[in-house]
Structure 1
């Protein structure tokens, strides 16, 4: 018995639907591939952005209560207390270039007098420090000073106090502005109210440093917060 082959008639509508389905499936596959590539490309970018954000934006818990002052940023703070006499406390701010700024520490006895400091006199010892004129790279005319050399005399309504160099070196300048504006010592002794600038030799500084206190040691000894 012969089996008669049945011919399947072609249906144009069915073929069109099948072809459209194939195209849609192909487009969906391509779209998924594009999304995967895009995600893989964006992932490292997101990680880079997160890393950059962490570098630029500190954790608020790590930030100080107040921003550091220019003095704290540019100088290393040292102190000497009860220098030659009780209550004669002074600061030495050392710059990376070796220069030392000398002034009155917040706990200096002069600030305890009513009305604070009212006058300053640089004419102490054998010469007037305010007429000192230093010039040139070799600091010509700079006055050689010892740590206990007198810088000036500050006066209050009740008493007067000698302020000293604190470090051995070359006295380069004194703050002449204080002669007409002694109140700067009361309001900003650690900034505009500094008293003098001294340049010690490296060997002299190494020796002087042994007798000085760091900021933390000073705060602990005097029980103050700066």
Structure 2
């Protein structure tokens, strides 16, 4: 009996995704004092942070068509330009800085704050073409933006935000 080559392929469901392997997740609950306006920031050891919505965000409970608008006031986040190894020229962000606005077809909308101080490196332009990525894959292909900060700011922010365990306890206690 010859061995079946397909039997040598490992079960890929047991492997972690890229972001699960290399990023540390931290959470902001009720950002801007809005109930269930929960943000997730994923930190990499190289100071890069990915901004997205936390699983408990009210966005995931609402159905209907939506789009992401990266024009905040007179500032278009899609025109962000960074240059060189130091990522010079990127737009400066503060924790309350809006990165985008999510608008539903019914006219309701909300702004997504950056949640941290840093420099906007890149907007996930795939979300402009395929906004459904945000709902399908919020912690991978559907991230909203890449933010770069100093090591000190990155570590301080990471320490201030909720760990996954604290986040789960926080959202569990808000359900009670």
Shorter-normalised TM range = 0.7 to 0.9
State the alpha-carbon separation in 1 of the partners of residues 15 and 151 from structure 2.
31
CA RMSD of superposed structures (Å): 1.7
Q: How many residues align?
A: 158
Alignment partner of 1:169 is 2:118: yes
Maintained 8 Å contact 2:43/2:158 = no
Higher-strand-fraction structure: 2
SS in 1 for 2:25: strand
Instruction: State the Cα distance separating 1:89 from its structure 2 match.
Output: 0.6
Alignment partner of 1:203 is 2:148: no
Maintained 8 Å contact 1:114/1:157 = no
- Which of residues 160, 176, 191 in structure 1 aligns to 2:140? 191
Alignment partner of 1:123 is 2:75: no
User: What residue is the counterpart of 1:78 in the other structure?
Assistant: 26
User: What residue is the counterpart of 2:105 in the other structure?
Assistant: 157
- Larger C-alpha radius of gyration, 1 or 2? 1
Per the normalisation by structure 1, the TM-score is 0.65
User: What residue is the counterpart of 1:106 in the other structure?
Assistant: 55
State the alpha-carbon separation in 2 of the partners of residues 124 and 206 from structure 1.
28
State the alpha-carbon separation in 1 of the partners of residues 112 and 155 from structure 2.
22
Maintained 8 Å contact 1:110/1:161 = no
Maintained 8 Å contact 1:91/1:105 = yes
Alignment partner of 1:92 is 2:38: no
Q: 1:96 to 1:206 in 2, by over 3 A?
A: closer
List gaps (5 residues or longer) in structure 2: 1-12
User: What residue is the counterpart of 1:222 in the other structure?
Assistant: 171
Maintained 8 Å contact 1:113/1:156 = no
Maintained 8 Å contact 1:80/1:211 = no
Shift >4 Å, 4+ stretches: none
List gaps (5 residues or longer) in structure 1: 1-64
